């Protein structure tokens, strides 16, 4: 991968420090323009059967009313493609001009028809001209070229129809559904994803057809981010036009997990100015998707006016593959430890043992015992409100230096210094000290911590271009060859829980994706006028969001991961209900990945690296997988969850849930 990294001039974005949206060509989709100087477009996809005309229309309207500017509808065969005509006519009759996008997998004939009806067609280059057989084929250059000729022949009619009808196209690569040809040559990699799109893009450009948007989706946020970055670099180097990018994380899941995972992937790219249209895919009704996409996008409307960040002249980070920054092991930070969660409880005076449940540690008075769940934080920051009881479960307390300095117990508590305090301090903890600095203080902090093997940095910034400002400080540490572990601290003012999830996932997740950060601390910025219960609720949110961000960036697994598709007109069961049912039985299986897919056509491919899969294969019938291997076919749906659990048990990955 090293050979893919070129000078900063040809990096994947305009600037690593100043917010600048990548210049793309505008692509017209009906009345909507994607790319160029146009605002980032919000889109989403229907979930009702495309043959249900009125159902599709009603759902589209709900989506439009919630902020969706482009409505995608699946067209699995000719008959659904034909029905797009009726859906479109009804929407127009009711005064809705929102452009429609036909979603195509495997069926060129449906694409060719749909391209004459709707404003945009999405094709998946992994399955437009190929059926997936999971075969590894040894291609010679000549046989590979023959394959490309075959694709050209299959794809060319669609390109011509789009060109004639002014229909736009998305070449939408999915990590989980790369063709056997691409997998054989490039493997399951970001480069394979990019090449998959470029094969089709070359055919379009040869025909002088440029109304194209490209996506590189994956449910793995690291792969997704790397693939988009690599795509931009390959477009630049290959002399292609700067096509707009459609951003999305596939199978992100539901609720908090789905939002956090989407924000880690999409937000990381938006920070670097990539992305012209966004679809957040949640296993929820589609009208819940647009507000999340909009909340992510809206952060950038004023971003240009951020405080300047010192430029980067040499970039020591590989943006196309995951490399954890090498750091020393200090206490239980850094080294080979998972990133740590520090939860800020400093705004609560004299917290009680029973209130500690908000940070995942439960006191059971009848047994006089403590228990913790999978999201029990590692450290609490109590500031100047020391905890008045002994802490359980190996959890440790961090106090402000002034408090720690006078505390009777200086062994089991750890001090947090400001830079000036640290420089002038006569007393340190023998094993672990925290130095909190802003990104702007990094150059002053580096000499102060040089050679210290008892200090962890807590890094924060007040810059509104937060992630790049923090990343810039990491670049200084890398340049200085400092191996100090770093906890990333973010603070937010009063805002909704959703905003906090999305912002923290972007600001911290964007660093974790590049291997930066050994811990997370989400700080409470509020004072007064909040009840104790409200503050405790915030602390609970920050604690769970911290674990969620670490998991979504794939750096610390603390819960079961559900890779569930958002559902569409192909879906064979109620995804939301089924996901909830599976979650209820399996959400104690820490680190296990379960794919829940609505159809057998795309599901097995798209559940990517799930350990187990639950895939709709017919009305009331489920096929169960272990990895990519089919374990049981056509299981009646009422027995399928039990059978799934049996497969997990037989595989030795089951444990019984604990009750707290």
Q: Does 219 bind ligand SF4 (CB under 6 A)?
A: no
SS3 610: coil
565 marked as part of a ligand binding site: yes
The DSSP call for residue 357 is G
Report in angstroms how near the CB of residue 540 gets to ligand SF4 at its nearest: 32
Q: Taking contact as CB under 6 A, which single stretch among the options 374-382, 396-404, 477-485, 562-570 is the one that binds ligand SF4?
A: 562-570
Report in angstroms how near the CB of residue 575 gets to ligand SF4 at its nearest: 7
CB 99 within 8 A of CB 122: no
Choice from 570, 583, 593, 626 touching ligand SF4 (CB under 6 A):
570
Strands 27-29 and 32-34 turn out to be antiparallel
Q: Does 254 bind ligand SF4 (CB under 6 A)?
A: no
Q: Does 606 bind ligand SF4 (CB under 6 A)?
A: yes
98-111 b/e with 16+ CB inside 10 Å = b? bbbbbbbbbbeebb
Q: Does 603 bind ligand SF4 (CB under 6 A)?
A: yes
Which ranges of 251-408 does DSSP label H, i.e. alpha helix?
255-262, 268-271, 289-298, 401-406
Q: Please choose, from the candidates 203, 295, 200, 214, the residue with its C-alpha nearest in 3D space to the C-alpha of residue 248.
A: 214
Report in angstroms how near the CB of residue 574 gets to ligand SF4 at its nearest: 12
Residue 82 CA, chain-centre distance (Å), reads 35
Choice from 190, 566, 595, 613 touching ligand SF4 (CB under 6 A):
566
Cα gap 567→48, rounded to integer Å: 8
Choice from 565, 582, 608, 640 touching ligand SF4 (CB under 6 A):
565
431 marked as part of a ligand binding site: no
Which residue minimizes CB distance to ligand SF4?
598
Choice from 346, 571, 578, 623 touching ligand SF4 (CB under 6 A):
571
Report in angstroms how near the CB of residue 617 gets to ligand SF4 at its nearest: 11
Whichever of 24 and 283 has its CB closer to ligand SF4, that residue is 283
Q: At what angle do helices 255-262 and 289-298 cross, to 10 degrees?
A: 40
Report in angstroms how near the CB of residue 219 gets to ligand SF4 at its nearest: 11
Whichever of 469 and 599 has its CB closer to ligand SF4, that residue is 599
Cα gap 326→344, rounded to integer Å: 26
Length of the chain: 660
Whichever of 535 and 597 has its CB closer to ligand SF4, that residue is 597
568 marked as part of a ligand binding site: yes
Q: Taking contact as CB under 6 A, which single stretch among the options 2-10, 297-305, 330-338, 560-568 is the one that binds ligand SF4?
A: 560-568
Whichever of 289 and 353 has its CB closer to ligand SF4, that residue is 289
Report in angstroms how near the CB of residue 506 gets to ligand SF4 at its nearest: 25
Q: Taking contact as CB under 6 A, which single stretch among the options 111-119, 140-148, 492-500, 568-576 is the one that binds ligand SF4?
A: 568-576
Whichever of 536 and 565 has its CB closer to ligand SF4, that residue is 565
Q: Please choose, from the candidates 364, 401, 365, the residue with its C-alpha nearest in 3D space to the C-alpha of residue 386.
A: 401
Q: Please choose, from the candidates 358, 357, 412, the residue with its C-alpha nearest in 3D space to the C-alpha of residue 390.
A: 412
Q: Does 442 bind ligand SF4 (CB under 6 A)?
A: no
Q: How far is CA 90 from CA 96, 297, 325, in A?
A: 9, 30, 55
Q: Does 567 bind ligand SF4 (CB under 6 A)?
A: yes
Q: Does 598 bind ligand SF4 (CB under 6 A)?
A: yes
80 marked as part of a ligand binding site: no
Tokens of 610: 């799930």
Q: Does 72 bind ligand SF4 (CB under 6 A)?
A: no
The DSSP call for residue 4 is G
Report in angstroms how near the CB of residue 355 gets to ligand SF4 at its nearest: 42
Q: Does 273 bind ligand SF4 (CB under 6 A)?
A: no
Q: Taking contact as CB under 6 A, which single stretch among the options 55-63, 369-377, 530-538, 565-573 is the one that binds ligand SF4?
A: 565-573
Q: Does 579 bind ligand SF4 (CB under 6 A)?
A: no
- Written in H, E and C, the secondary structure of 169-209 is EEEEEEHHHCCHHHHHHHCCCHHHHHHHHHHHHHHHHHCCC
Q: Does 253 bind ligand SF4 (CB under 6 A)?
A: no
Report in angstroms how near the CB of residue 392 gets to ligand SF4 at its nearest: 43
Residue 456 CA, chain-centre distance (Å), reads 27
How buried is residue 242: exposed, middle or buried, by Cβ count under 10 Å (0-12/13-18/19+)?
Answer: middle
Cα gap 360→72, rounded to integer Å: 40
Q: Does 104 bind ligand SF4 (CB under 6 A)?
A: no
Q: Please choose, from the candidates 394, 400, 430, 403, the residue with its C-alpha nearest in 3D space to the C-alpha of residue 417.
A: 400
Report in angstroms how near the CB of residue 89 gets to ligand SF4 at its nearest: 24
Q: Is the dihedral of CA 578, 580, 581, 582 positive or negative?
A: positive
Q: Does 602 bind ligand SF4 (CB under 6 A)?
A: yes
Cα gap 518→524, rounded to integer Å: 20
Q: Does 599 bind ligand SF4 (CB under 6 A)?
A: yes
Cα gap 139→256, rounded to integer Å: 44
Report in angstroms how near the CB of residue 568 gets to ligand SF4 at its nearest: 3
Q: Which residues bind ligand SF4 (CB under 6 A)?
A: 565-568, 570-571, 597-599, 601-603, 606
Annotated binding site: 565, 568, 599, 606
Annotated binding site for [4Fe-4S] cluster: 565, 568, 599, 606
């Amino acid at each position: 991968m090293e050979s893919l990294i070129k000078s900063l001039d040809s990096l994947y974005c305009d600037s690593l420090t100043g917010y600048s949206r990548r210049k793309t060509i505008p692509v017209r989709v009906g009345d909507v323009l994607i790319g160029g100087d146009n605002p980032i477009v919000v889109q989403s996809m229907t979930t009702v059967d495309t043959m249900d005309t009125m159902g599709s229309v009603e759902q589209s309207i709900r989506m439009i009313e919630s902020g969706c500017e482009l409505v995608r509808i699946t067209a699995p065969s000719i008959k659904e493609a034909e029905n797009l005509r009726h859906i479109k006519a009804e929407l127009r009759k009711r005064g809705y001009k929102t452009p429609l996008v036909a979603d195509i997998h495997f069926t060129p004939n449906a694409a060719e028809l749909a391209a004459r009806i709707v404003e945009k067609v999405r094709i998946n280059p992994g399955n437009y001209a190929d059926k997936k057989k999971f075969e590894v084929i040894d291609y010679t250059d000549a046989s590979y070229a023959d394959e490309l000729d075959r694709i050209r022949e299959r794809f060319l009619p669609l390109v011509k129809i789009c060109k004639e009808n002014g229909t736009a196209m998305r070449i939408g690569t999915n990590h989980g559904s790369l063709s056997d040809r691409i997998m054989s040559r490039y493997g399951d990699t970001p480069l394979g994803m990019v090449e998959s799109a470029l094969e089709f893009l070359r055919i379009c450009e040869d025909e002088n057809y440029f109304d194209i948007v490209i996506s590189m989706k994956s449910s793995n946020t690291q792969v997704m981010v790397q693939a988009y970055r690599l795509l931009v670099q390959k477009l630049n180097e290959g002399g292609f036009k700067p096509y707009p990018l459609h951003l999305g994380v596939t199978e992100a899941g539901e609720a908090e997990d789905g939002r956090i995972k989407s924000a880690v992937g999409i937000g990381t790219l938006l920070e670097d100015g990539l992305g012209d249209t966004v679809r957040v895919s949640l296993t929820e009704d589609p009208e819940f998707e647009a507000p999340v996409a909009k909340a992510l996008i809206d952060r950038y409307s004023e971003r240009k006016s951020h405080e300047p960040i010192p430029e980067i002249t040499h970039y020591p980070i590989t943006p196309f593959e995951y490399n954890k920054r090498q750091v020393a092991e200090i206490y239980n930070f850094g080294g080979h430890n998972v990133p740590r969660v520090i939860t800020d409880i400093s705004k609560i005076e004299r917290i009680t043992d029973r209130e500690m449940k908000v940070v995942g540690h439960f006191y059971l008075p009848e047994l006089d015992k403590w228990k913790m769940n999978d999201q029990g934080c590692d450290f609490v920051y109590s500031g100047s409100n020391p905890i008045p009881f002994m802490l359980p479960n190996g959890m440790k307390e961090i106090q402000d230096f002034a408090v720690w300095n006078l505390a009777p117990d200086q062994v089991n508590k750890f001090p947090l210094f400001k830079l000036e305090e640290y420089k002038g301090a006569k007393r340190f903890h023998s094993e672990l000290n925290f130095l909190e600095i802003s990104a702007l203080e990094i150059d002053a902090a580096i000499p102060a911590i040089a050679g210290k093997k008892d200090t962890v940095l807590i890094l924060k910034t007040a810059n509104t271009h937060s992630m790049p400002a923090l990343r810039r400080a990491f670049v200084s540490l890398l340049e200085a060859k400092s191996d100090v572990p770093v906890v990333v601290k973010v603070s937010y003012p009063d805002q909704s829980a959703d905003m906090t999830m999305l912002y923290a996932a972007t600001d911290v997740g964007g660093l974790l994706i590049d291997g930066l950060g050994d811990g997370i601390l989400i700080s409470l910025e509020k004072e007064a006028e909040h009840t104790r219960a409200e503050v405790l609720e915030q602390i609970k949110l920050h604690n769970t969001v911290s674990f969620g961000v670490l998991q979504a960036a794939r750096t610390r697994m603390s819960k079961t991961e559900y890779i569930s598709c958002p559902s569409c007109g192909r879906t064979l069961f109620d995804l939301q209900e089924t996901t909830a049912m599976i979650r209820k039985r399996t959400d104690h299986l820490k680190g296990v990945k379960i794919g829940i897919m609505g159809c057998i056509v795309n599901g097995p491919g798209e559940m990517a690296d799930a350990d187990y899969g639950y895939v709709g294969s017919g009305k009331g019938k489920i096929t169960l997988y272990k990895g990519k291997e089919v374990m049981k076919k056509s299981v009646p749906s009422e027995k399928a969850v039990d059978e799934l659990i049996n497969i997990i048990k037989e595989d030795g990955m089951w444990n019984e849930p604990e009750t707290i």
